[in-house]
Amino acid sequence: MSAEVLSFQVSPRLAEILGEGYSSTELALKELVDNAWDADSTEVRITVPAPMTSDPIVISDNGSGMKTGEMRQEYFMVARDRRLSKGEKTAKFGRKVKGRKGIGKFAGLMLADSMELQTTAGGNTSTIKIRRTDILAHQGDFENFPVTHTTEPADVNAHGTTVSLSDFHQQLQFPNADKLREHLIREYGKADKFVIYVNDLALTYNDIPGEKFEHTVALPSGGTATVRVTIAEGKRKLPQKGLVVRINGKTCGKANFFGLEDDEILPRKLIERCIGEIEIESNDENLVTADWGGLIESNLDTVALTEVIPDFLRRDLEKARTVEVSTAKARYQKLLNQRLEKLPAFRRDFARRRLARVFEMFFHENEERFEAIIGVVLDTFDKDEYWVIIDKLSNARDSHVGDLAETLIEFGLVDTGIIGRQARARIAVLEELQALINDDSTREDTIHRILESNMWIFEFAGRLISSNEAIKTVVEKYLDGEYQGDRASKRPDLLAAGIFSGRHLIVELKRPSLFINRDHERQALEYKDDLQPQLQKIEILIIGKGRDPGIDPRNERDGIEVLSYTELISQARSRHEWLIRDLSKEQ
């Protein structure tokens, strides 16, 4: 074995990119998997030990590895873009190269203090060990930092790289094996000739969060097909959509929905959340085309699969949607009941039925967007135009079927149109409010009256229960207690009480031309102290021209948010513009 001291050579791009980090420990580990991809590996094995142990995190691949000369010339060139010398594609499999910044090699040091790299190629195994604390303590330039590099003989046919990370940084969250699987399946779920194991378990579509289903099909040829389906949660980025077919372990053609994409009942967005695989065990040589581009349509096994798989998928999707819609309804039921009680009795039942359709259309949206949708939709039930069409529907039931069909079509258009117009009307309100904000002469009480009547502008999903003089009476009635404190004459501008989230919001409004300072924050905290015994989860929102330039936002107290009126309006506008766009897609 021979040993020598090497040092890093620094590219001019280093200063530009060394400050870039990773948003999670799992993504830092993924960077090391990307390196294995670029090395034309077909197998990567990752060991993530239990937290609070001294065992290392190990990432091992069977890629091309690095020869001794490559180690000196390429690995030790920091911030080198490997595409400049080796091109956009890998040498063996022609994969699109992922490493571009030349710092992926340091991803391990983002997680752990100690990193050992062992790489084998060309009949030699090279090993280097680097400690992050030693790099930080080094007094000279980075290119003069010494790294011990050892070389020893190896089997001439051996190749691959292993990275071991130890002395994990305690201030970081230890990598979670399940989260790592989720990140990796999104990136490499459809990759051919690239198998990843995490703690000895190969990645599969089951690593994607969502409802799981499995079916077995007996084929006419005597073989079997196992259909594994995942209906992914929400709007997750999927590695591919549809089902991929594998025959005796080999991929055949592209993923598809077996005709389900033409279903006129199931929403397209729901269908596209379906992902999975069909594993076929068969000795029928006439099942697949010569180029493995797809199944032969006239083959009896293919006919059998195309007959049953759409039914499997349809039932699976309906089951998944039923569960998700029910969950969404339960989460928002209290809010809906309170809003529905305000409607006339003869409109209430129909409103409930219409909201059921809204849940099916938008249940996958995040909480903020869903709250905006509920607010806009419920407001439409106050529109007389809506009930004119409902009356026509009732009359059409006793007339010709063509009249009924025409009225149903008209109702659908009006239904969507009213919701869209309601959203556009709110955007118009936001435009007028922005004009007032831009006018330095606008008074605080003017803005107060507008926002008091348009609480939908706030992200907080609640209802206005008090403002200024009336707060004492309302709080006593709402909380069944007395408003205590010697500041009874100085009350918050707005108080929104939580409906289903258990949160409450104190809103302090300042002049549009006034910056928010620490005195304003202290005043709001005093209001919170008065209400804390009755309302446990209180957040504070202070709105003005923005945060005082002399206040560092990193020192902001928890539970206090400072916004400019422009930011508040921009957020509300984005929610409603999104709703209009989404409604347009549904038509």
Q: Is the pLDDT of residue 354 over 90?
A: no
Q: Is the pLDDT of residue 528 over 50?
A: yes
What does the pLDDT read at residue 304? 92
82 by DSSP, 3-state: which? coil
Q: How many CB atoms lie within 10 A of CB 305?
A: 23
DSSP β-bridge partners for residue 218:
224
C-alpha to C-alpha distance for 272 and 449, rounded to whole angstroms: 45
Domains of the chain, by residue range, sit at: 2-198, 208-319, 323-427, 444-574
C-alpha to C-alpha distance for 397 and 315, rounded to whole angstroms: 32
Residue recorded with tokens 């992050």: 132
60 by DSSP, 3-state: which? strand
Task: Please report which confidence band the pLDDT of residue 40 belongs to, taking 50, 70 and 90 as the band edges.
Answer: very high
User: Of 268-272, 399-403, 527-531, which gets the smallest average pLDDT?
Assistant: 399-403
C-alpha to C-alpha distance for 266 and 268, rounded to whole angstroms: 6
Strands (E), 132-249: 146-153, 160-168, 195-198, 201-202, 210-218, 224-232, 242-247
Does CATH place domain 208-319 in 3.30.230.10? Answer: yes
User: Of 295-299, 306-310, 469-473, which gets the smallest average pLDDT?
Assistant: 469-473
C-alpha to C-alpha distance for 210 and 324, rounded to whole angstroms: 10
Q: Name the residue with higher pLDDT: 265 or 254.
A: 254
Q: Is the pLDDT of residue 83 over 70?
A: no
What does the pLDDT read at residue 461? 43
Q: Name the residue with higher pLDDT: 92 or 537.
A: 92
Q: Is the pLDDT of residue 499 over 60?
A: no
Give the CA distances from residue 558 to residues 152, 486, 522, 538, 539, in Å, rounded to whole numbers and listed in that order.
56, 25, 13, 11, 9
Q: What is the pLDDT of residues 362-404, one digit of tens each?
A: 666 666 666 666 666 666 665 555 555 455 545 554 554 444 4
Q: Name the residue with higher pLDDT: 14 or 25.
A: 25
The upper half-sphere exposure of residue 411, i.e. CA atoms within 13 Å in the direction of its Cβ, equals 16
What is 2-198's CATH superfamily?
Answer: Histidine kinase-like ATPase, C-terminal domain (3.30.565.10)
Q: Phi/psi of residue 478, each to 5°?
A: -75, -40
Q: Is the pLDDT of residue 165 over 60?
A: yes
Q: Residues near 140 by Cβ (< 8 Å), separated by ≥ 6?
A: none
Do the Cβ atoms of 9 and 143 come closer than 8 Å? yes
- The H-assigned helical ranges of 82-214 are 83-86, 107-111, 132-137, 177-188
Do the Cβ atoms of 169 and 86 come closer than 8 Å? no
Q: What is the pLDDT of residues 209-240, one digit of tens each?
A: 888 899 999 999 988 999 999 888 766 667 67
Two structure tokens written together for 105: 């090699």
Query: Residue type at 571?
Result: Q
313 by DSSP, 3-state: which? helix
Topology at the third CATH level for domain 444-574: Trna Endonuclease; Chain: A, domain 1 (3.40.1350)
C-alpha to C-alpha distance for 464 and 447, rounded to whole angstroms: 15
Query: Residue type at 171?
Result: Q
Q: Is the pLDDT of residue 317 over 60?
A: yes
What does the pLDDT read at residue 540? 86
Do the Cβ atoms of 64 and 121 come closer than 8 Å? yes
Task: Please report which confidence band the pLDDT of residue 303 belongs to, taking 50, 70 and 90 as the band edges.
Answer: very high
C-alpha to C-alpha distance for 409 and 416, rounded to whole angstroms: 11
Q: Is the pLDDT of residue 130 over 70?
A: yes
- Summarize the confidence of residues 109-120 as an average pLDDT: 89
In the chain, count H helices and then E strands: 17, 23
C-alpha to C-alpha distance for 232 and 250, rounded to whole angstroms: 24
Q: Name the residue with higher pLDDT: 259 or 268.
A: 259
Rg (the chain; Cα; Å) = 31
Q: Is the pLDDT of residue 11 over 50?
A: no
Q: Is the pLDDT of residue 498 over 60?
A: no
Q: What is the pLDDT of residues 513-526, one digit of tens each?
A: 889 998 888 888 88
Two structure tokens written together for 354: 């219409």
417 by DSSP, 3-state: which? helix
Task: Please report which confidence band the pLDDT of residue 58 belongs to, taking 50, 70 and 90 as the band edges.
Answer: very high
> Which run of H or of E encompasses 448?
helix 444-453
Q: Residues near 24 by Cβ (< 8 Å), separated by ≥ 6?
A: 173, 179
Q: Phi/psi of residue 78, each to 5°?
A: -75, 140
Task: Please report which confidence band the pLDDT of residue 100 belongs to, taking 50, 70 and 90 as the band edges.
Answer: low
Two structure tokens written together for 76: 């030790």
pTM of the model: 0.50
Q: Is the pLDDT of residue 496 over 60?
A: yes
